[in-house]
Structures are given as structure tokens and as C-alpha cells.
A and B are shown apart, each in its own frame.
Chain A
Amino acid sequence: MFNIAISILTMGILGAFFAYGLSIAKNKFKVEEDPRIDQVEEVLPGANCGACGYPGCRALAEAIASGQVDANSCPVGGSETAQEIAQMLGVEIIETERQVVVLLCRGTETAAQRKAEYRGIRQCYAASLVQSGDKFCSYGCLGYGDCVDVCNFDALHIDKEGLPVVDREKCTACGLCVKACPKNLLELHPVSRKFFVFCMSLDNPKSSRKNCKNACTGCMICTKGAQNGEIVVENNLSLINNLDILENEEAMQWVGKCPTKAIGFLEENQN
């Protein structure tokens, strides 16, 4: 009994003694860190997603506080976070428009037929290694949802047509899905831009027409109104060079004549 009591007492006293010593040492060897780092870190989303290029929110906060990068370097936090940080640090930021990811493919299950039954791992990356995927179109979306898997913000879903749909409210433009897509079909664009060519196929017109009903076949009809090269066709694919063409009504009528509707506005197929 005596042993137990004295054991407890000894451990308690020793523990308290070392704790006291450490607390003195902590005060004496306190590292003066920039207090703004903590403040900035508090405002950042804290997802540690790495979209900014730093290993975590803490590292970005250090970089922002030391002035290495701008206050709006967090793509996830958006302009609100940027404003708050800028106010805190007393710096100006250039307002940048929020970006969202856009899928540049309309190869739905019905439009773009599959050439074979794929029974491997249900991943676009794995499927694309076998004969560039199981669709006739070697450029199109395979629909196995690698982008959905990497999204931390629940902004992507595969719809019943077999294509990923972007929730433009939830998308934070972190860019993880852009990297994940083996076909490079996802691109980041300002949220206000709705006019795109929804095809990435560089196949010749004949193959494109055969492979996918919604493909750009390079028929040049959309370029007819574009006098100043706002829209051109390169490598059998239409390319929008200049969004000024939206102002030109006559040119837009030609664009509207696209036989496969590969060029057009976002609202038509996505929210």
C-alpha cells in the first residue's frame, strides 16, 4: 500500500517538475512567428487540397503573409477569402472572376457508341490505356468518373447520359479533375463564359461523323460569319479565338447552323 502511494507521489512530483521546467523553457525559447500567418490561415478554407501549389493551407498562409504570393492565391476560397485576407494585410487585390470547370465533350452514351465492352477497372485512366478507351471516338469522355472520384467538393456527378455534369455553384476551380481526366476534356473558364466548342476530336470529318453524333466535324460552317478569324477550324476542330463574335448577330446565325451543335452555349446541355 505504502509502495503504491509513494509510486504515485514520485511520478506526480517528477511529472510536475518536468512540466514546470518545460513551461519555463517554452517561454524562454518562444519563436516569434508573424502573427498574421495564424490570422490568414484562419480565413483560408482549411481543406489542405494543395490546389494553390503549396503543401497545405498553413504553407500558403506563410507565403501570403511574407508577400511572396498575392492574397487571392487560394483558388478554393474565391474572391470572398481573397477580400478578407487583403483587408487583413492591408493590400489591394485585382478582382479576378471566379472560374468553373467545363466539360468539352458531348459524347453521350447515345451519341458516341462504344466499340467494345470494357470489363477492366472502372476508371477512365485504366480504360484509356486499352486501345484509347472503349468508345469509337478516341478523344471523347469515357464516363467512368475519374473526375468525380477526385472532386473534394461534390461538384461533379455522372448523369444518366454517361457524362459528368458540373455543379457550377459547388465547383471551386481547384483543378484536381482537370489533372485527373486522361483525355484532357475538362478546362477551367470564367463563370460568365458560356460559349464553347464542346468537342476535342481531331479525327478527320468522316471518322468524326461516324464516331459521334455530337462531334465537331470541321465543316467550317461556323467560320463563315467570322470575318476577322474569331472562329477558325484547325486540325478538323473548330476553335474560338475571340469571344467578340457573340456581339455579331450575323456571324452567330452561322454558328447556329452547326449541324451537330458541337459549338454553342452551355445552358443547352448543362445547368
Chain B
Amino acid sequence: MELILLFISAAIINNFVLSYFLGICPFLGVSKKIDAAFSMGLAVIFVMSITSVISWLVNHLILIPFHLEILQYVVFILVIASLVQFVEMVIKKISPPLYRALGIFLPLITTNCAILGLALFISLREYSFIQGLVFGLGASVGFTLALVIMAGIREELETADIPESLKGAGITLIVAGILSLAFMGFAGLI
């Protein structure tokens, strides 16, 4: 029960993008088409869940026993960077069109603060291994959810009559703000 609550909390109530404002770059960059947004979400789900596992292992098996908590940031970034490289290779092999569609945003997952944030949250809140994994899954599902919802809205916006000065980034940020407000409504859920 506690794990389900943790999952829902990470995915919806404390959504990484819409509540913590982490990972805004791909949120605005890859949310033009639902397909690309969903694939980006899958890549992030993969990277995030493995990051939560490996960073927990590294943190508890190496850093804490040797009192090297100070290295957390560097080590986590190392873990994330390697994983992203790995995901990039896999995607390039499996689906070249997807590789081109994601473009620069795929390597940019490396510097995505949502993923570093995830690793640091897990260590800060002292989650257990299972809790960390569930938290990572929830957070990445929430990220995908936000991305796909945003992409859906933006696909509709293509045909909308938008004031000239708000076209492009302007209307996108307004939509992101309203979406964020809507997700705030989930705060009383738990």
C-alpha cells in the first residue's frame, strides 16, 4: 500500500515536471508530437528506473561505507551519463527514425536535472532499495504523462487561433503554467 501511494505521489501529486519544475528543457523541446513525446518518455523511464537502482547501489555499497557522500553529485552524473550513452546506442540500433526525431534531446537527458534530482531525492529521503525503484518508476511515468499531455495540447494548438505575439514559446509556457496549476489540484489526493 505504501509503495502504491509512493508511486502515485511521485507520478501525479509531486510530478517532477509540473510541481518541481525539473526537466523543463525536454518538456518544452520534445512536446510537439505525441509520438516523439511518448518515445522520449520511454527513454526517460528506462534511464530513470535504472538510475534509481544503480545510484542506490553505488550510494549504499560504496559511498556510505567509505564516508564519501561528498562524491554523490559526481558519481550520480557519471552513472546517468553512462546510461544515456547506452540508451543512445540502443535507440540508434533499434530505431534510426526515432533517433533522428529525438535528436539533441537524447544526449541532453544526461544533463536533465529531473534524473539527477531523482538520484539525489532517493539518497536525501533515505528510501530503501524497493522504495527507490518505485519512486524512480513513478517519477519517470509522471514525466512521460506530463510530456504526452503537453504534446496532445500542442498538437491541438497547431490549428488554434493564437495572437501573433504569443505564437511559439509564449503560448507553450502559458499552457505549461495552466497544466501545472491543474496538477496542483491533486495535492489533496493523499
Contacts and interface: CB of A to CB of B under 8 A. Distances in A.
B156 to A, nearest CB: 30
Interface of chain A, helix or strand or loop or mixed?
Answer: helix
B86 A22 contact: yes
Contacts of A7: 68, 70-71
Given A3-B67, A10-B71, A15 B78 contact: yes
B75 interface: yes
Contacts of B82: 18, 21-22
B90 A10 contact: no
Interface residues of B, number: 20
Contacts of B74: 11
Interface of chain B, helix or strand or loop or mixed?
Answer: helix
A91 interface: no
B86 A14 contact: no
B182 interface: no
B63 to A, nearest CB: 8
B75 to A, nearest CB: 6
Interface in B31-84: 58, 62-63, 66-68, 70-71, 74-75, 78-79, 82
Contacts of A31: 92-93, 96
B89 interface: yes
B19 interface: no
A18 B71 contact: no
Interface in A9-43: 10-11, 14-15, 18, 21-22, 25-26, 29-31
Contacts of A29: 89-90, 92-93
4 shortest interchain CB distances as A-B pairs: A18-B82, A29-B93, A29-B89, A25-B86
Interface of B: 58, 62-63, 66-68, 70-71, 74-75, 78-79, 82, 85-86, 89-90, 92-93, 96
Given A7-B71, A14-B62, A21-B86, 18 more contacts: A3-B68, A6-B66, A6-B68, A7-B68, A10-B66, A10-B75, A11-B71, A14-B58, A14-B75, A14-B78, A18-B78, A22-B85, A25-B89, A26-B89, A29-B89, A29-B90, A29-B92, A31-B93
